[in-house]
Amino acid sequence: MKKSGKGKPGIDVTPAPGKKLLITDVALRDGHQSLLATRMRTEDMLPIAQKLDAIGYWSLEVWGGATFDTCLRFLKEDPWERLRALRAAMPNTKLQMLLRGQNVVGYRHYADDVVERFIERSSTNGIDVFRIFDALNDIRNLEHAVRCVKDQGKHVEASFCYTVSPVHTLDSFVDLAKRLEDLGTDTLCIKDMAGLLAPMDAYQLVRKLKAAVKAPIHLHSHYTSGMASMSSLMAVLGGLDILDTSMSPLAGGTSHPPTETMVAALRGTPYDTGLQLPRFIPIAEHFRTARKKYHQFESDFTGVDAEILTSQIPGGMLSNLAAQLAEQSALEKMRDVLEEVPRVRKDMGYPPLVTPSSQIVGSQATLNVLTGERYKVITTETKNYFLGYYGKPPGPVNKEVAARATGDERPVKGRPADRLEPELPAAITELAGKSMSPEDVVSLALFPAIAREFFDQREKGELKPEPLAPAPEAGPKVAHELHLAPIDFNVTVHGETYHIQVSGSGRKEEGRKPYYIRINDKLEEVQLEPIQEVLAGVPEAPETGDKAKPKRPKPSKPGDIASPMPGRVVKVLVAKGDKVKADDPVLIIEAMKMENRLPSPVAGTVATLYVHEGDDVKPDETLVQLE
Ligand code: MN
Domains defined for the chain, CATH in brackets:
22-294 (3.20.20.70), 308-418 (1.10.472.90), 423-460 (1.10.10), 472-528 (no CATH), 550-626 (2.40.50.100)
**CB-side exposure of 52: number of CA atoms within 13 Å?**
34
Q: Which letter, b or e, does each residue of 237-276 get, where b requires 16 or more Cβ atoms within 10 Å of its Cβ?
A: bbbbbbbbbbbbbbbbbbbbbbbbebbebbeeeebebebe
CA of 31 to the centre of ligand 1 (A): 8
Ligand 1 center–CA 216 separation, angstroms: 19
Confidence of residue 116 (pLDDT cuts 50, 70, 90): very high
Report the separation in Å between the CA atom of 624 and the middle of ligand 1, taken as the mean of its atom positions. Answer: 41
For the segment 435-464, the average pLDDT, to the nearest whole number, is: 96
Ligand 1 midpoint to CA 38 (Å): 12
Tens digits of per-residue pLDDT, 127-164? 999 999 999 999 999 999 999 999 999 999 999 999 99
Is the predicted pLDDT of residue 546 greater than 80, yes or no? no
Neighbouring residues of the ion ligand 1, judged by CB less than 5 Å: 30
Give the distance (Å) from ligand 1 centre to CA of residue 275: 23
C-alpha of residue 447 to centroid of ligand 1, in Å: 22
By DSSP bridging, strand 616-617 and strand 567-572 are: antiparallel
Cβ 545 vs Cβ 537: under 8 Å: no
Say which amino acid occupies 460: K
pLDDT of residue 106: 92
The Å distance, Cα 353 to ligand 1 centre, comes to 12
| Centroid of ligand 1 to alpha carbon of 312 (angstroms) | 15
Cα 106 to ligand 1 centroid, rounded to whole Å: 15
Distance CA 221, CA 239 (A): 16
Q: From CA 550, how far away is CA 572, in angstroms rounded?
A: 16
**pLDDT exceeding 70 applies to what percent of the chain?**
84
Decide if pLDDT at 515 tops 70. no
Beta 604-609 vs 567-572: how paired, if at all? unpaired
Centroid of ligand 1 to alpha carbon of 123 (angstroms): 21
Report how far residue 71's alpha carbon sits from residue 181's, in angstroms, rounded to the nearest whole number: 33
Cα 590 to ligand 1 centroid, rounded to whole Å: 25
Query: What is the distance in A from the centroid of ligand 1 to the CA of 126?
Result: 21
Distance CA 71, CA 465 (A): 9
Averaged pLDDT of the chain? 86
CA 465 to chain CA centroid, nearest Å: 19
Each as own residue / partner, the long-range contacts of residues 163-167 (CB below 8 Å, 24 or more positions apart, any chain) are 163/194, 163/196, 163/312, 163/350, 163/352, 163/353, 164/1, 164/196, 164/312, 165/312, 165/345, 165/350, 165/394, 165/395, 166/2, 166/350, 166/395, 167/349, 167/350, 167/394, 167/395
How far is the centre of ligand 1, averaged over its atoms, from the C-alpha of 547 (Å)?
40
Q: What number is the average pLDDT over the span 472-480?
A: 46
* pLDDT-based confidence at residue 9 (cuts at 50, 70, 90): low
Q: How far is the CA of 370 from the centre of ligand 1 (A)?
A: 29
User: Ligand 1 center to residue 345 CA distance, Å?
Assistant: 20
Taking the centre of ligand 1 as the mean of its atom positions, its distance from the CA of residue 244, in whole angstroms, is 9
pLDDT over threshold 80, residue 522: no
Output the CA 65–ligand 1 centroid distance in Å.
Answer: 8
Residue 427 banded pLDDT, cuts 50, 70, 90:
very high
255 alpha carbon to ligand 1 midpoint, in Å?
Answer: 7
Q: Is 172 helix (H, G, I), strand (E, B) or coil?
A: helix
Q: 506 falls in which pLDDT band (50, 70, 90)?
A: low
539 pLDDT band, cuts 50/70/90, is very low
Give the angle 567-570-574 at the CA atoms, nearest 5°. 110
For residue 193, the CA-to-ligand 1 centroid distance in Å is 5
The better pLDDT of the pair 243, 615 is held by: 243
Q: Note the pLDDT of residue 531.
A: 37
Distance CA 377, CA 535 (A): 37
Given a cut of 80, is residue 4 above it in pLDDT?
no
Is residue 558 pLDDT above 90, yes or no?
no
Cα(448) to centroid(ligand 1), Å: 25
% of the chain surpassing 90 pLDDT = 63
For residue 288, give the 3-state DSSP assignment.
helix
With b for 16 or more beta-carbon neighbours within 10 A and e for fewer, the 415-438 pattern comes to bbbeebeebbeebeebbeeeebee
